[in-house]
């Protein structure tokens, strides 16, 4: 007789085999929708490099800190796109697109490998293909392919964890610092860093890179530009948020609660963030990271979970948590999917799988997608739909917390 566990595993594999071609078809449709198009986000980076080379003082637009439009990143990040000036805008975008997609796919595969090794799971290429196809078909991935750097930051964070697992802690720390000089989000990875046995050499690598990168960049980035960014640009930008629906950060969602639908679904206007909101977001961020560190230590679960929480929470707390920022949710999503599939093979985990599937559906449309019937819905329902990325992230974090087990026992599927 066939055991119930075997029947459950067989049903799961048939479901995965049926889902894979549908996901590949979805990828094809998304690729066709971007064909022949040069993303507006890419043009911002492309033009910023040209301005930096012509006159570094013009890197930041005069109204950037008020409008939150244009180049908003640390000065060295502009140099990331320097090689793309060798060709036309179209040629550069084609190269950037390949790098963006490659970093996203490779990050998912590396995280699957890390999850399998940390939890002692067997290698399963069918599950891996489906999970990677699921993650990279979300609206966040579609948006980041407009020319954003989200998957590059994602890759630096994932590569840091992967290198540490292979005995390269200094280089791992250096990659985290490199990510911070593109966008500040990877700084949350320091919580994971201090959970690792080799945190001292990792911190050494982080400090060396954090200091060395701006020193090397002095060739093209004058010190005055750093002063302008940290003294003027960053404080002003962190105190405001764009209220448009594509901004899926907690701060933007809270600000939208007082606005009519026709404003936040169409307008890119900015709104100042009150001190209590900024302080509350920071405290919630620190509290969540401290809590997951303590829970991982108490349960004996792999520190991998701390890193996946760090990138996921970055999506929620950034004042400009655009839809494309949610590619940083991939490690958590991939890890939960793989653990859930392993539990299904033992006849458990179907409830978690359904919850994760609903989160995937919430993440599938791009963040900027407007609901045709939004005007017909109650105000709270429209607000909920336009906060769906953040809600999905919170649900995934809750599932992750639950998967760590209860009463001090980590969940470790066979």
pLDDT digit string, tens, across residues 248-290: 999 989 988 887 776 666 777 788 888 899 999 999 999 999 9
- pLDDT of 187 over the 80 cut: yes
Q: Which comes out higher in pLDDT, residue 29 or 294?
A: 294
Residue 332: band (very low, low, confident or very high) from pLDDT cuts 50, 70, 90: very high
- pLDDT of 407 over the 70 cut: no
Residue 357: band (very low, low, confident or very high) from pLDDT cuts 50, 70, 90: very high
Share of the chain above pLDDT 90, in %: 38
d(CA 389, CA 248): 6
Coil, strand or helix at 30: helix
d(CA 43, CA 34): 15
Q: Mean pLDDT over residues 80-106, rounded?
A: 85
DSSP 37-67: ---HHHHHHHHHHHHHHH-GGGSS-TTHHHH
Residue 359: band (very low, low, confident or very high) from pLDDT cuts 50, 70, 90: very high
Residues 131 and 335: beta-carbon distance below 8 Å: no
CA distances (Å), origin 379, targets 17, 246, 261, 394 = 40, 18, 8, 21
pLDDT in tens, 13-30: 788 888 888 888 887 887
Mean pLDDT across the chain: 86
- pLDDT of 44 over the 90 cut: no
Positive/negative CA dihedral, 177, 180, 334, 151: negative
Per-residue pLDDT, 409: 42
Residue 132: band (very low, low, confident or very high) from pLDDT cuts 50, 70, 90: very high
Bridge-based pairing of strands 270-272 and 240-242 is antiparallel
- pLDDT of 64 over the 90 cut: no
Q: How many residues does the chain have?
A: 414
CA distances (Å), origin 377, targets 132, 270, 374, 382 = 34, 25, 5, 6
Residue 154: band (very low, low, confident or very high) from pLDDT cuts 50, 70, 90: very high
Q: How many CA atoms lie within 13 A of 378 on its CB side?
A: 3
Coil, strand or helix at 189: helix
Per-residue pLDDT, 413: 43
Residues 250 and 317: beta-carbon distance below 8 Å: yes
Residues 131 and 109: beta-carbon distance below 8 Å: no
Per-residue pLDDT, 281: 93
d(CA 383, CA 391): 11
């Amino acid at each position: 007789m066939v055991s119930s566990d075997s029947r459950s595993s067989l049903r799961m594999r048939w479901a995965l085999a049926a889902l894979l071609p549908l996901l590949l078809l979805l990828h094809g449709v998304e690729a066709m929708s971007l064909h022949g198009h040069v993303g507006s986000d890419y043009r911002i980076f492309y033009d910023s490099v040209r301005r930096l080379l012509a006159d570094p003082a013009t890197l930041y637009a005069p109204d950037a800190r008020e409008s939150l439009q244009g180049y908003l990143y640390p000065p060295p990040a502009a140099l990331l796109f320097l090689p793309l000036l060798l060709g036309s805008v179209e040629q550069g975008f084609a190269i950037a697109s390949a790098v963006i997609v490659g970093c996203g796919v490779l990050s998912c595969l590396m995280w699957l490998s890390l999850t399998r090794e940390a939890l002692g799971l067997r290698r399963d290429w069918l599950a891996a293909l489906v999970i990677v196809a699921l993650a990279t078909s979300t609206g966040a991935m579609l948006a980041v392919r407009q020319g954003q750097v989200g998957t590059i930051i994602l890759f630096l964070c994932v590569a840091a964890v992967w290198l540490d697992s292979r005995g390269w802690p200094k280089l791992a720390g250096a990659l985290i610092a490199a990510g911070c000089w593109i966008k500040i989000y990877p700084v949350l990875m320091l919580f994971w860093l201090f959970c690792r046995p080799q945190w001292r050499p990792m911190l050494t690598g982080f400090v060396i890179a954090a200091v060395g990168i701006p020193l090397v960049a002095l060739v093209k980035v004058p010190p005055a530009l750093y002063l302008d960014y940290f003294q003027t640009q960053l404080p002003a930008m962190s105190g405001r948020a764009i209220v448009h629906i594509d901004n899926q950060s907690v701060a933007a969602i809270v600000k939208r609660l007082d606005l009519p639908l026709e404003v936040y679904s169409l307008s890119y206007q900015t709104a100042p963030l009150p001190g209590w909101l900024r302080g509350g977001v920071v405290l919630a961020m620190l509290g969540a990271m401290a809590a997951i560190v303590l829970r991982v230590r108490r349960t004996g679960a792999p520190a991998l979970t701390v890193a996946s929480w760090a990138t996921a929470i970055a999506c929620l707390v950034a004042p400009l948590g655009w839809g494309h920022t949610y590619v940083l949710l991939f490690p958590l999503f991939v890890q939960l999917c793989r653990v859930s599939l392993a539990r299904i093979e033992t006849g458990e985990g179907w409830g978690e799988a359904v919850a994760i599937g609903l989160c995937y559906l919430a993440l599938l449309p791009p963040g900027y997608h407007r609901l045709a019937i939004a005007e017909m819905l109650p105000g709270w329902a429209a607000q909920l739909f336009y906060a769906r990325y953040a809600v999905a992230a919170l649900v995934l974090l809750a599932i992750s917390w639950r998967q760590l087990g209860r009463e001090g026992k980590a969940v470790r599927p066979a």
